[in-house]
Structure formats: C-alpha cells, structure tokens
Amino acid sequence: MNYTLLILMSIPAVLSLGYFSRRFKEVTVASGVITVAISLYILLTGMHDSGTFFVDYLSRYLIVTISSIYLLSVLFGLGYHHKIGESANMRLHLSLTDLFVSTMLFSVTINNFGLLWFGIEATTVSSALLLVIEREPLKIEAAWRYVIIVSAGLTISLVSVVTMYYAFGTLTISKIISSGGSFTELTGIAAGAALVGYGTKVGLFPMHAWLPDAHSEAPSEVSAMFSGVLLPVAIYALYRVYEATADPKITSLYLFVALLTMVFAALILPSQRFYKRMFAYSTMENMAMILIGLLAGGIGVTGAIILMVSHAFGKGGAFYSSGNILETYGTKSISQISGMREKMPYTSVSLILSSLAVTGAPPFGTFLGEFLILAALYASGYTIPFILALVSLFIAFASINFHVSRMVFSGRSEKRDEPSVLQRAVAIFSSVVPLIIPVIFVLGGMI
Amino acid sequence: MIFSELEGIIGVLMLASTLVVQIRSYIRPMTNTVVTQSILLASIAIIIGIRESSIDLIILAILIIVLRGFLVRYVLNRRLPKARMFVREYSHGVASVTLASVIVLIASFLVFRYAFYPSVHDPLGAIGLSILFQGLLLISTRRNSFAHFIGYVEEENGIIFLSLSIIPLPLLIEISVLLDVLALVIAGTVLVTDNVEHTRVEELMG
C-alpha cells in the first residue's frame, strides 16, 4: 500500500470534518495547501505505483492539477461567498468541496476499473450539492439535470466494467494495460459503453446536455473545478478503458465523436448570449482536443497533458473572472456588460488573459499543447480530422475573443467597482500560469 | 435445471415490472413496483448464490433488500408531498410511451443477440439490458423528479441483473454500486423542491 497516496486522498476527506469546527475556513485552506505540497512531492519524485493504486505520468499531472485548482477555488470561494458568511450553507459547501476533491484524487489513482467507476460516480454525488449553495430555482434545475443526466449516462459505463471483467478475468487496471489489452467483440462493447458513459461526464456530443447548464449556474469556483479538473478526470477514466481495448476501429469511433464535439462547440459558440455558458462550450471543445491528443499517441499525449494542465488554470481564470463580473454587474448576459476596462481593470486583464489561454493563443501552454496534438494528428495520417480540428479551433478562438473584447472594450464607465483583492489575485494568478507552463515543460525535459 | 427456470421466471417478472412502471401515472405505486423489482433481483442473487455456493451473492441479496427494498423506498416516500395522498404525473402520451417502450424492448433484445450473445452464450442477460434501457426511457420521457429517480434505480437493477447473468462482479464493486445509488438518491432528494415537474427554462437554452 502506498501511504503517500493514501494520505493525499485522505486529507481532504478527513478535513471535511472541519464542518464542525469554528475555524472551518482555515481548515479547508490548510487542506488545500497540504494537498498541493504532497502532489508536488509525487510529481517531482516521479512516483510510480501499480499495487492498490495506479500512478503513472498521466495520474501525476492530474493529481497536481486537481490539488492546485482545489486550493485556488477554495481561496476564491472564501471571497466570493462572503455574503453567506459563516452559515451552515458555507460550512457544508466547503466540506463537500473537500469530499469532491478526495473522490477525484481517488479516481485518478485507484488501480481497479470497478472502483474507478465508483470514484467517478462519487464525484457526481459529492459535487451535486455544490451547485446549490444559494437555493435559487434555476440553480436547482441545473443541479437536477447534472445529477440525472450524468448518473444515467454513467450507469452505461458500468456495462463496460462487467464486460471487461468477463473478457480479462480481472479489473486491475495495471494488469490489463501491461498485458497490452486485446480486442474482442466484448472489449469492443466495453469501449463503446465507456464512450457513452464516461463521455456523458466528459461532455462529449451528443451526451453533453448537462454541461452548459451546470457550468453556467454553479458558483464560479465550482465551475472552475468542473471545467478544469472534473472533466479531465472523466477523460482519464475513458482513456484507461481505451488503453485496455485499443483497436483501430475503436480509435476511429472515439476520434469521430471527439471531432463531432469540437465541430458542435465551434458552431454554437458564436451565438452564445451568456459568458459562463460560452466558457462551458469552450470546455467541451478543449476536452475533445485533449481526447484527440491521447488517441493520436506519441507526441500527441504530451500535447494532451500540456493542454489539460494549461486549460485547467486558464479556464479557472476565466471562471474566477466570470464570478467577479457577475458579482459586480449582477448579470451573465454578454450584451449587458460594457465599460469593463474602466470599471474592473484587474478583472479585465484576467478575463482577456484567460480567454486567450483557453482559446490556444501563443505563447500560452494551450497553444503548445494544441500544436503538438495537431502535429501528431497530421503525422498519423488523419488529414481530414486535422483540418476539421484546425477550423473548429479557429472559429472558437474568434468567437470567444470577440465576445470578451465586446465586454471589455465597449462602452464607458466612470466608477471603479472591483471585488475583493483575494478574488482578483486568484483570477490573475490562474490566468498567468498557462504562460509559465511551456517553460516548465521545456525545462523539465518533457518536450 | 430448476434454478435456471426459476431465474428465467423471475427475470420475466422483473421485465414485466419495468413495463408496468412505464405506463403508470401515480408516483407511489411506481415506487412500490420498483421496490418489488429490487426484491425480485435479490431473489435471483439468492438463487445464483445457492447454485454457485457463493456467500458473496447471498450477502449481495441481503444488501439489495435492505438498501433498495427499504432505504431507497423510505427516502423517496419521505420526500413525497404528504398533503396529497396520490401524487400524479399528468401525461398525455401513454400510447406513444407504450409504443416507444416496446420498440426499446425489441431493440435491446436485438443488441444483446448480436453484440453480447456470441461471446456470453446466455440469453438471460438480454433481460438485464432491456431493464437498463427501459430505465433510460423512463428518465427521458418523464418530467417528474420521482419518476427520474425510479428510472435510475431501474437502470441500476438492470445492470446488476446483467452482471449476475454474465459474470457476477466482485462483492466490493457490487456494494460500491449499491451504496452509490443510495447516496445519489439521498443527495438528489435534497434537490427535490415543491415543484417536482421539470420544464424548459429560457436561461438554460442555447
């Protein structure tokens, strides 16, 4: 048993009991700091495990990303929810955030396909109530859609667990993957069921119906966690099944669905009226791109990891900025926002930086990630998918940055009105990190 | 021989219960029907457990009875509005839902026949797959929160039936699935407000 990993996922779970403490906010922040410290230790020591837990390069980067977005979201939430004060709702919200993080860390490290399914489903249970810290009807409706659509979809991925157990005689991830996997009719069913089931959680078209609703109605720091880390955790589960059942037919099927998602997101982005929904559709596009990178293999996998990490911080910055805008303007409608550059200069900077980051503008890490993925796609001979992905990326880039520019540069405002320093600092920090990521990867010898 | 006949009979009864749920309008009888379905599922686990001399399956059966037979029903009934004895979902599409239900039934049998059967060689799993799809159909055709819950429990019953007929999963996984359903039902009931009907919302479109 790897005790470092056990401690890593236990800390948020145990400290969620801070609900009962008077210093519950400090306890949650401490949980975030300790989790980040342990995650960095795991990454820097290159920890590898294939016992009870399964840790490889992909898990290590996911662990660090989950922990970092967790800490940033907790810090942002403390400012963002200041009106709620120290109410029971706030206590419950922070406790559930801890449990949510714990289930994500469990999912990306457990060495069993059955328990991986359980972990992914547990992320739904623990995060459902995070959407309704303020019990507004619209938020409850969005939370309901999230719970029902995702759970109904995930049940289908349980078919993949059953068929894999029948096909391989074990559910141990490391054993199945190290045996090289194999393709039979049953593993084909497993791959298909996983695509529908985990694909619902990832937000792949056409199972994405819950995603824009949940992202737009959740508190901004929860949207950041959903977009930045929850969906990559679901991609992780999908990718593990893919690794076990890899076959050219399955690759083509997964690639087709991922491309369909990218094209759909690109087509719907120009007509978006609400900025949080716009960023939600941008998440769909980025998740599809990450999946394409993992499918392309080779340098595409490196690109997918860079994109995943950069996108998590970039999208975090976009949603934290969205939270600041919502707090100041009281609306999510793009057309009702103007004069941001005078009214909210700091948030304007974080919003522009994060928008550029999530749309893959150079020199952000997302650009490097997307470049490597496209290169891998082209090198593998997928010319039409390459063109489709490139065009979709361009449309998404133009749409999002046009909407954001309109919000920031149109109109004038006399009065400055920004949220707390903590909220602004978290938004700017999160938006700047994707600029540093390429440097870290180059210095770390990943590229 | 007698065991497999019993499994078949109970399987058909489970399938019949899903079809009954599809056409019901009143929520309380729907809940009772799905609880009966869960108890039928537990009896299949007991039969297979005796046949295979597996204590794990007997434990699974007991857990199904306790968690789905009693706890899920208790949680759902507690949230049903007390003022109204008979909570009803007004539906005008009984004929089309019945037709859709039959089409889904035939489609799921065909999927099992051509995708699963060549590898597993046991036709009973077709019932599990059908129940799973019927649960999905119930969720997609109803607007009522309780009907959604019932559809979800049906789906999970279907998948456990499928697993029992193909290859029983390790007990730890089965327990995780059962606990997960319970946790989801409890978390979900917090989201059930006085307005249990779900309609189109302008802000959640596009």
Q: B191 and A216: CB-CB below 8 Å?
A: no
Write down the pLDDT at residue A183: 77
B155 vs chain A: nearest CA distance in angstroms? 7
Residue B203 lies in a domain: no
Which residues 90-149 in chain A show a CB within 8 A of chain B? 112, 114-115, 117-118, 121-122, 124-125, 128-129, 132, 137-138, 140-145, 147-148
Q: What pLDDT does B191 receive?
A: 77
Nearest to A162 among B163, B195, B206 (CB): B163
Q: Do A140 and B193 touch (CB under 8 A)?
A: yes
Q: Do A423 and A320 touch, CB atoms closer than 8 A? A: yes
The percentage of residues in chain A with a pLDDT greater than 70, rounded to a whole number, is 99
pLDDT band at B11 (very low <50, low <70, confident <90, very high): very high
The kind and range of the H/E element at A49 are strand A49-50
Residue B194 pLDDT > 60, yes or no? no
Note whether residue B113 is domain-resident: yes
- Residue B202 inside a domain? The answer is no
Domain count, chain B: 1
CB-based contact A148 B148, cutoff 8 Å: yes
pLDDT reading at A94 higher than 90: yes
CB nearest to A162's CB, from B118, B148, B167 = B167
Which residue in A350, A41, A410 sits closest to A220, CA to CA?
Answer: A350
Task: List the single range of A257-271, B15-29, B31-45 with lowest mean pLDDT.
Answer: B15-29
Specify the pLDDT at position A281: 97
ipTM of the assembly?
0.91
Lowest mean pLDDT among A274-278, A329-333, B79-83, B156-160: B79-83
B154: containing domain: 2-192
Residues of chain B found within 8 Å of residue A140, distances taken between Cβ atoms: 191, 193
Would you state the pLDDT for residue B65? 93
Predicted pLDDT of residue A32: 96
Q: Is the pLDDT of residue B37 over 80?
A: yes
Distance CA B150, CA B31 (A): 7
> Is B154 a member of any domain?
yes
Helix, strand, or coil (residue B154): helix
Would you call A185 and B118 a contact, using CB atoms and an 8 Å cutoff?
Answer: yes
Q: What is the mean pLDDT of chain A?
A: 93
Judged against a pLDDT cut of 90, whether residue B74 lies above it is answered with: no
Residues of B in Cβ contact (< 8 Å) with A147: 184, 187-188, 191
Give a yes or no: residue B198 inside a domain: no
Residue B18 lies in a domain: yes
Q: Tell if the CB–CB gap between A122 and B118 is shorter than 8 Å.
A: no
B201:A138 CB<8 A: yes
Q: In the predicted model, what is the mean pLDDT of chain B?
A: 86
- Residue B63 has a pLDDT of 92
Determine the 3-state secondary structure of A54 from DSSP. Answer: strand
Would you state the pLDDT for residue B98?
Answer: 85
Q: Which residues contact A301 (CB under 8 A, 6 or more apart)?
A: A293, A294
- Residue B131: the pLDDT is 96
Exposed (0-12), middle (13-18) or buried (19+): which is B104, by Cβ within 10 Å?
Answer: middle
User: What is the pLDDT at residue B195?
Assistant: 60
Q: What is the pLDDT of residue B102?
A: 93
Q: Is pLDDT of A407 > 80?
A: yes
Please, are residues A44 and A61 in contact by the beta-carbon 8 Å criterion? no
Q: Is the Cβ pair B206, A273 closer than 8 Å?
A: yes
Helices (H), A269-330: 275-296, 299-329
Interval A327-352 mean pLDDT: 93
The predicted structure's pLDDT at residue B73: 85
B126 located within any domain? yes
Share of chain A above pLDDT 90, in %: 81
- Chain B nearest-CA residue for A268: B206
B180 located within any domain: yes
Question: What residues of B are in the A interface, CB distance below 8 Å?
Answer: 115-116, 118-120, 129, 132, 135-136, 139, 145, 148, 151-152, 155-156, 159, 162-163, 166-167, 169-170, 172-173, 176-177, 180, 183-184, 187-188, 190-191, 193, 195, 198, 201, 203-204, 206
pLDDT for B174 equals 86
State the average pLDDT over residues A276-302.
Answer: 96
From B144's Cα to the closest Cα of chain A, the distance in A is 11
- For residue B76, pLDDT over 90 is answered with no
pLDDT interval class at B84 (50, 70, 90): low
pLDDT tens profile B104-145: 999 999 999 999 999 888 899 999 999 999 999 999 988 888
Closest Cα in chain B, distance from residue A254 (Å)? 19
Q: What CA–CA distance (Å, rounded) separates A234 from A228?
A: 11
Is A216 an 8 Å CB contact of chain B? Answer: yes
pLDDT for the residue B125: 92
The residue of chain A with its CA nearest to that of B186 is A125
Residue A422 has pLDDT above 70, yes or no: yes
Distance CA B21, CA B27 (A): 9
Instruction: Mutate one of B184, B189, B194 to test the A interface: name it (highest A CB count within 10 A).
Output: B184
- Mean pLDDT calculated for residue range A108-121: 96
Q: For chain A, what is the radius of gyration of the CA atoms? A: 20
Q: What is the mean pLDDT of residues A294-322?
A: 96
> What pLDDT score does B86 carry?
55
Residue of B nearest to A116 (CA): B173
What average pLDDT score do residues B67-87 get? 75
Q: pLDDT at position A401, please?
A: 97
Which residues lie across from A54 on neighbouring strands? A50
**A219-236 confidence digits (pLDDT tens):** 999 999 999 999 999 999
Nearest CA distance, B116 vs chain A (angstrom) = 7
Q: A446 pLDDT exceeds 90?
A: no
pLDDT, tens digit (0-9, with 9 covering 90-100), for A142-167: 898 999 999 999 999 999 999 999 99
**Residue with token string 């009984």:** B94
Distance from the A436 Cα atom to the nearest Cα atom in chain B, whole angstroms: 35
Share of chain B above pLDDT 90, in %: 47
Report the pLDDT value the prediction gives residue B193, as an integer from 0 to 100: 65
**Which helix (H) or strand (E) segment is A50 a member of?**
strand A49-50
Q: State how far residue A110 is from chain B, nearest Cα, in angstroms.
A: 13
Mean pLDDT score, A349-370: 96
The stretch A129-138 carries a mean pLDDT of 82
B195/A137 CB distance under 8 A: yes
How far is it, in rounded angstroms, from Cα B25 to Cα B99?
16
